[in-house]
Amino acid sequence: MSAVAETGAAPEHDEPEQGAPLGIAVAQFAPGGDKAANLGTIRGLVEAAVARGASLVVLPEYSMHFVSPLGSQTLGAAEAVDGEFVTALGALAVEFGIHLVAGIIEKADGPRVHNTLVALSPAGAVVARYRKLHLYDAYGARESEWMQHGTIAHPQTFGVAGFTVGLQTCYDIRFPEVTRWLVDAGVDLVLVPAEWVPGPAKERHWTSLLEVRAIENTVFVAAADHTAPGGVGLSRVIDPTGVTVAALGSEAGVAVAFIAPSRLTEVRRVNPALDLRRFGVVPR
């Protein structure tokens, strides 16, 4: 794994107290078609993150299984949320005493599957689930041939260290209303697992969109991407002013930041943009 980026002073590994800094890690790697191998890689990333004080670890989209292009192998890899892979993630969360977020392929009714994120608590329970709303039918890809998009409902969130945490996936970041929809539900830390496909200007799109979502919503954003060949890497944690406080390059590894609700409070005191806005988000 690559060198680990850090910021701040590491707290203890126990569940952080309300208002205390939260150690958050974004972990990037290149998931493949072998679930056991992916779990082995995830374990190593979690170990590295926890050793540096993280109590919330964010993994990429499709962490369970990824082949390119998507196809019958993708469909065959799908599991229920209470299946073996998520159970193994829950066991890791219990072992290390952390919240853990990762992308899976979830079984669905009908011929397609869901591109789903799950959040596991330190007790190993699924505390939030998010099914990708905007499927990647762009740049020549057709994710919708294999995936069924999620239905729009009140977002599932979870709390940790004084933050309300929400989830969205990869291509969703191009749609500003998704992040605002989360913020309207009280979210102030947005997690973005991704498989951001490389291409012309795509690295700039990735970093710029993440920064803008943080700025316009005055929220923390933590994004975890695939490394090559499926993604561009560049996983990062961004503060509510759009400043990157921890980041990775193109190699597999973890970046750890320590963030506090007090920073959020101060930014919103200076820039009360959410209170001043005059428009809301209405689903189509």
The Cα 74–Cα 93 span in angstroms is 25
Active site residue 61: yes
Active-site pick, 61, 106, 143, 195: 61
35 near 234, Cβ under 8 Å? Answer: no
The Cα 45–Cα 30 span in angstroms is 12
Active-site pick, 79, 143, 170, 195: 170
DSSP 122-187: TTS-EEEEEE-SS----TT--GGGTB-PPPP-SPP-EEETTEEEEE--GGGGG-HHHHHHHHHTT-
Residues in the chain: 284
List, in sequence order, every beta strand (DSSP E) within the chain. 5-6, 22-28, 56-58, 99-106, 114-120, 126-131, 158-160, 163-167, 189-193, 220-224, 236-238, 244-247, 253-259
Active site residue 35: no
The Cα 156–Cα 166 span in angstroms is 7
| Cα–Cα distance list, 69 to 142, 149, 197, 223 (Å) | 9, 18, 12, 23
> Which residue type does 240 have?
P
Active-site pick, 6, 35, 106, 132: 132
Residues with a known catalytic role: 61, 132, 170
